[in-house]
A and B are shown apart, each in its own frame.
Chain A
């Protein structure tokens, strides 16, 4: 089953974007930090949401390949495109000295958290299914 398709692509981008922006604002509020590049960063969040959703939607076509190389490959593609965007952006505007490191952290943390949630849910689903099979056996 295709989880990300044409009809829900925009909704997924919107939900991801809202969550990322809310997380960013809460984090900044808790630190008392004021973002002087607020507009630019909001659009960067939107760009990353679109890009990450597009890359994750490729997962459906890669299901016959082992999971670990697919997840690592998708991560490398995502971080590669993000770094390329920073590099290109650097030709038109001035980047912060920590731009690459900040983007690495901003992309890696949500990606790793997402991958862990996906992985844990996979094994929990198996545990639940095994309980169902045990119950079926008990009824026989």
Chain B
């Protein structure tokens, strides 16, 4: 199976296109891995129903037993619980960082430690989240898995 990357300037949205005669095992496996990443998540914002690509989600947070998902510049209330999000989307880079939040590893810009060994997570939209020490092992295990996946 060939993988061809083409850069097109001024493209509104990135897209993947599959050319095939028949779906073989290798192609099916790639599609299986892509499926969760290309999923959409349903939510509500200002009383309106929305569907947001999962890949656009920066993090999820629980406030007053409600779960909110945050994109670069918007927030939607979703019906999933944090545990449900982890169970469903762990493979596409979502990991728990505290009792009340789950972050998308692909949206992290950098980490910074403080004197009390809390890890500050700076996202690509310049928001900052705090990871508790109790979730460190889980976070680094997920990061290692993701790194392993990137190896050829």
Contact = CB atoms under 8 A, between A and B. Distances in A.
Interface in A41-79: 60, 63-64, 66-68
A7 to B, nearest CB: 17
Contact of A64 (B108, B117, B134): B134
Given A132-B147, A136-B106, A126 B134 contact: no
A134 B134 CA distance: 25
Interface in B45-83: none
B112 A122 contact: no
Interface residues of A, number: 21
A1 B140 CA distance: 12
B132 A64 contact: yes
B110 interface: yes
A106 interface: no
Contacts of A132: 143, 146-147
Contacts of A63: 132-134
A67 B147 contact: no
A134 B146 CA distance: 13
Interface in B91-150: 106, 108-113, 115-119, 132-134, 136-138, 140, 143, 146-147, 150
A133 B117 contact: no
A133 to B, nearest CB: 5
Contact of A126 (B113, B116, B138): B113
A75 B81 CA distance: 39
Contacts of A125: 136, 140
Given A66-B116, A67-B117, A125-B140, A130 B111 contact: yes
A115 B51 CA distance: 47
Contacts of B150: 135-136, 139
A37 interface: no
A135 B109 CA distance: 11
A134 B109 CA distance: 8
A129 B150 CA distance: 14
Interface of B: 106, 108-113, 115-119, 132-134, 136-138, 140, 143, 146-147, 150
Interface of A: 1, 60, 63-64, 66-68, 119, 122-123, 125-126, 129-130, 132-137, 139
Question: Closest 3 CB pairs between A and B?
Answer: A67-B117, A66-B116, A63-B134
